């Protein structure tokens, strides 16, 4: 599993004589991140792309790993004890970068049927009023590129990674500021719906020239505590 190899690499980096203490420049720090979050690693079925996501989203996630609202040992190890100011610099670094996308990893979504993909697309674009699931595009943007300052884009992510995040929201091992809109939405999606959505999303070709939207045409359908001033939207 590449996670293990990269972890050894990170450990080797910090054990190298030239870096007997923790890395102390931004370049050294992000070099360790790139071992997993780089173009080369896109063939892996699990590493999420972080380049080009909105600054506020990345900063929130780094703090979430550090402070125990998200759980993934490798990530906690990378950011544990880093002060907010450093996490801000790292988030800023990655938000400003837009490397090309590599070919998508097939992952579990690769074997989805036409009917599953159709269901996935319907949920993304229209939601399911009967199950009180809002359209994903209502918050993530019509082109799914994310929205400044704190909503991530959804393209270029492996289906297995997306499935795992929904599992984490359902198990409450991934949390964001209250009201935690994604946890509420995850609770309304069946496992089959999650698989349909993740398969469809992972099959869309991302555009490297796309950037997060700067605004949405309408208020959010649900309030999200991690999105500033979204609490004015009409909560369901």
Binding positions for ligand HEC, rule: CB under 6 A: 3, 6-7, 10, 29, 32-33, 35-37, 46-48, 50, 57-58, 60-62, 70, 72, 74-75, 78-79, 90, 123, 133-134, 136, 138-140, 151-152, 154, 157, 162, 164-165, 176, 181-182, 185, 197, 220-222, 224, 226-227
Hey, which residues does 147 pair with through a beta bridge?
151, 213
Q: Cβ distance 221 to 138 under 8 Å?
A: yes
Q: Measuring CA to CA, how many Å separate 9 from each of 43, 141, 184?
A: 18, 37, 37
* Residue 78 annotated as lining a ligand binding site: no
Min. distance of Cβ 126 from ligand HEC in angstroms? 10
Nearer to ligand HEC, 7 or 101 (CB): 7
Q: Is residue 224 marked as binding? A: no
Nearer to ligand HEC, 102 or 164 (CB): 164
**Does 136 belong to an annotated binding site?**
yes
Of 105, 128, 109, give the one whose Cα is nearest residue 117.
109
> Between 109 and 221, whose beta carbon lies closer to ligand HEC?
221
Residue 103: CB minimum distance to ligand HEC, A? 19
Q: How far is the CB of 131 from ligand HEC (least distance, A)?
A: 10
Kindly state the smallest distance separating residue 42's Cβ from ligand HEC, in Å: 13
Provide the token pair at 23.
């890395």
- CA dihedral 89→175→150→66, nearest 10 degrees, is 0
Q: The tokens of 99 are what?
A: 């490397």
Compare residues 75 and 143 and give the one whose CB is closer to ligand HEC: 75
Cβ at position 26, least distance to ligand HEC in Å: 10
What three-state secondary structure class fits 41? helix
Hey, what long-range contacts does 171-176 have (CB within 8 A, 24 or more apart)? 173/70, 173/71, 174/64, 174/69, 174/70, 174/71, 175/64, 175/69, 175/70, 176/60, 176/64, 176/69, 176/224, 176/225, 176/226
Nearer to ligand HEC, 37 or 203 (CB): 37
Query: Could you tell me which residues are annotated as the binding site for heme c?
Result: 33, 36-37, 75, 136, 139-140, 182
């Amino acid at each position: 599993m590449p996670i293990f190899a990269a972890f050894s690499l990170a450990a080797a980096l910090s054990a190298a004589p030239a870096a007997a203490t923790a890395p102390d420049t931004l370049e050294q720090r992000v070099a360790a991140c790139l071992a997993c979050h780089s173009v080369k690693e896109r063939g892996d079925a699990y590493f999420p792309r972080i380049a080009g996501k909105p600054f506020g989203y990345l900063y929130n996630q780094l703090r979430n790993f550090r402070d125990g609202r998200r759980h993934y040992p490798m990530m906690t190890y990378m950011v544990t004890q880093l002060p907010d100011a450093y996490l801000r610099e790292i988030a800023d670094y990655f938000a400003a970068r837009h490397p090309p996308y590599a070919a998508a990893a097939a992952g579990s979504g690769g074997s989805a049927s036409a009917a599953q993909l159709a269901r996935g697309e319907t949920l993304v674009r229209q939601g399911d009023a009967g199950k009180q699931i809002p359209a994903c595009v209502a918050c993530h943007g019509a082109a799914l590129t994310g929205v400044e300052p704190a909503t991530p884009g959804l393209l270029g992510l492996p289906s297995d990674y997306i499935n795992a995040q929904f599992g984490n929201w359902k198990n409450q091992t991934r949390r964001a500021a209250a009201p935690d809109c994604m946890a509420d939405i995850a609770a309304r999606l069946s496992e089959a719906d999650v698989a349909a959505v993740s398969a469809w999303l992972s099959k869309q070709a991302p555009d490297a020239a796309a950037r997060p939207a700067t605004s949405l045409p309408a208020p959010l359908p649900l309030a999200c505590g991690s999105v500033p001033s979204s609490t004015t939207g009409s909560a369901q």
